[in-house]
Amino acid sequence: MTGKKKATLNHRIRSDIESRILSGEWEPGFRIPFEHELMEQYKCSRMTVNKVLTTLAESGMIERRRRAGSFVARQPPHLEQVALEIPDIHLAVTDRGHEYGFQLLEQQLRPADAAAAKEVELVGEGMLLAMHCLHLADGKPLALERRLINPEAVPETLTVDFSTHAPGSWLLQNVSWTRGEHRISAVAATAAEARLLQVPAGTACLVIDRQTWRGEQQITWVRQMFLGDAYDLIARFAPGGKG
């Protein structure tokens, strides 16, 4: 089995297990199929299965018990719940009848900047994947995006061509997450930001800073800057929740 095929199979097995856990199909305490059962199901080696289960255990999604097997982890009582959905900008634009466009302005695989708290929080002293992107609607700038990804959490990102796949859309389609945090603010575009957005410097913009985790492992940090007159933030809720 080639390295690429093995990585793809690892991702498939992990995604299948994660989706069952996150959908509630496999509830906390549920025993995950034994290694030999997963080997038979996916036609793969014990090493492949063991690596996937080890990764899931390290992320906090499952617990491995000697001789008893692997079980869906029981989440701690302080587990946070995200009140806002994570939007796929591509889908949001096309659903409104507009043509979506995307430009990858810069991409780097580099060490974390020790002076940047968000980078150290994401990968410690490790490597991170940093991207600067521009989202468009009908050929006009809609939003700027600066994104950092933890390649240790999502090694597949090192082989994805993000010049043709917007990183946010790819992550939503391929990577499960268990916890997220949004921070929303209003800012005035700097001269450099305004040039990319094709607006005057100082134009009002809405900024969303977002972090996502899988278990205790952080996946990504992103800052998205939307033109203020082109984006509405709506949170839907239902009665009965605790206020």
Residues of the chain with CATH 1.10.10.10: 3-72
CATH architecture of 3-72: Orthogonal Bundle (1.10)
Q: What is the pLDDT of residues 65-95, one digit of tens each?
A: 888 899 998 765 433 444 456 778 898 888 8
pLDDT at position 108 is 96
Provide the CATH number for the domain formed by 89-230 in this structure.
Answer: 3.40.1410.10
Q: What is the pLDDT of residues 88-118, one digit of tens each?
A: 889 888 888 889 999 999 999 999 999 999 9
DSSP collapsed to 3 states, the chain? CCHHHHHHHHHHHHHHHHHHHHCCCCCCCCEECCHHHHHHHHCCCHHHHHHHHHHHHHCCCEEEECCCEEEECCCCCCCCCCCCCCCCHHHHHHHCCCCEEEEEEEEEEEECCCCCHHHHHHHCCCEEEEEEEEEEECCEEEEEEEEEECCCCCHHHHHCCCCCCCHHHHHHHHCCCCEEEEEEEEEECCHHHHHHHCCCCCCEEEEEEEEEEECCEEEEEEEEEEEHHHCCCCCCCCCCCCC
Looking at the whole model, is its pTM more than 0.85? no
Mean pLDDT confidence for 198-217: 90
